[in-house]
Amino acid sequence: MKSAVRSLALIAMIAAILAAAPAPAQEASGGLRYSITVTKFENQAGWQGYWDIGDAWGTVLTDMLNQSGKFIVLGESDMRGAAMEEQDLAASGRTAGGAKAPVTGQMTPAQILVKGAITHVQGDTAGAEGGIRIKGFKVGGGGGKGEVNATVYLVDSTTGQVLASTNVVGTHKRKGLGVGYDTGSWGAAFGGHENDNVGLAVQDACAQAVDFLIAQLPNIQWSGAVVMIKDGKVYVNRGSREGIAVGQTFSVGEVEILRDPDTGEVLDQSMSEVARLKVSQVKDKLSICDVVSGSVGAVAKGMTIHLN
């Protein structure tokens, strides 16, 4: 009898846990992604080693952003520049061409830019083991030093406005360093020395920067646009790549932008809603929606969508 009671209690507890868990659509609604790119961080600290700290920072931060799954991560500015040079070369007619030749007009624009500066570096490049040997005895090592300070800016690519900023301080001894990120591909960024003290501090500082950037996402207005209306369906330019899920709803309408007459700066934006949409089908870069409130006839190509 007691065993049966315990079994019923266990079943009830499991049912309560499952009932409290968020539905998949609810989870997806908080995961809408923005396209983002990292510009090279300036080495204002003047630190010099056998690897470039600005390049290493960009490599690690870009990879961590990608691993987080919260962003559509674009190549760093130098990679995008190289891509544009290849497109220009192909467009000049001096290459063989064909279906695989790079074409212009298809690069994904960055909605958010990450920039900043490395302001202070303290440490050695001997690695976490470190130390030297004198007459068979090891002196020093066993840890060494590693600290990196950086200022990080989150910038709106449309207006150039700094949306948020923070200072991060990374060390190579912080408990739980690198948890949640695969660090196996970063050795080359630190001159092939994966246990470099300054390199480990860079990893820690970048992890803090990513946490900060993710925390800012709820404060940024997510939007998209109507690209087509066909057979009573509304097609919008956001899909699974941006985290859209079936069942999500959007407001759609015209956006009025108020600008400063002296500077042209955007002072405010407000949307006049004409309808509400519900996602019925999701593709990679496109979603197909039903009109659940208002009239489909009031919706026009180019109108803005906001997440409800």
Token pair recorded at residue 80: 């995008």
Q: Which pLDDT belongs to residue 269?
A: 73
Q: For 109-117, what is the mean pLDDT?
A: 88
Helix runs in the chain, H state only: 2-20, 24-29, 53-68, 77-91, 197-216
Q: List Cα–Cα distances, 83 to 43, 86, 147, in angstroms.
A: 25, 5, 34
Between 187 and 55, name the one with better pLDDT: 55
If you ran DSSP here, which 8-state letter would residue 297 be given? Answer: G
Q: Which of 200, 186, 177 lies closest to 127 in space, CA to CA? A: 200
Is 81's pLDDT higher than 80?
no
Q: What is the CATH number of domain 25-74+110-219?
A: 3.40.50.10610
Q: How far apart are CA 65 and CA 193, in angstroms?
A: 22
Q: For 204-222, what is the mean pLDDT?
A: 91
Fold of the CATH domain 223-307: Thrombin, subunit H (2.40.10)
- Look-up of token digits 């009932």: 19
Q: Quick: pLDDT tens for 141-195.
A: 445 678 999 999 999 887 888 999 999 999 988 655 555 688 878 888 888 877 7
Average pLDDT value for the chain? 77
Of 36-50, 138-152, 243-257, which range is least confident?
138-152
- Left if phi > 0, otherwise alpha if psi is -120 to 50, otherwise beta: which for 30? alpha
Q: How far apart are CA 64 and CA 146, in angstroms?
A: 20
Share of the chain above pLDDT 90, in %: 42
- Look-up of token digits 């899920």: 245
Q: Which of 51, 170, 70 lies closest to 114 in space, CA to CA? A: 70
Is 137's pLDDT higher than 70?
no
Q: Which pLDDT belongs to residue 307?
A: 85
Per DSSP bridges, beta strands 34-38 and 112-123 are parallel
How many C-beta neighbours within 10 Å does residue 21 have?
A: 10
Is 67's pLDDT higher than 90?
yes
Provide Rg for the chain, Cα atoms: 25
Is 227's pLDDT higher than 80?
yes
Domain boundaries, the chain: 25-74+110-219, 223-307
How many C-beta neighbours within 10 Å does residue 229 have?
A: 17
Q: For 22-27, what is the mean pLDDT?
A: 34
Number of C-alpha atoms within 13 angstroms, CB side, residue 279?
25
First vs last C-alpha separation in the chain: 51
Q: List Cα–Cα distances, 170 to 49, 174, 194, in angstroms.
A: 17, 8, 16
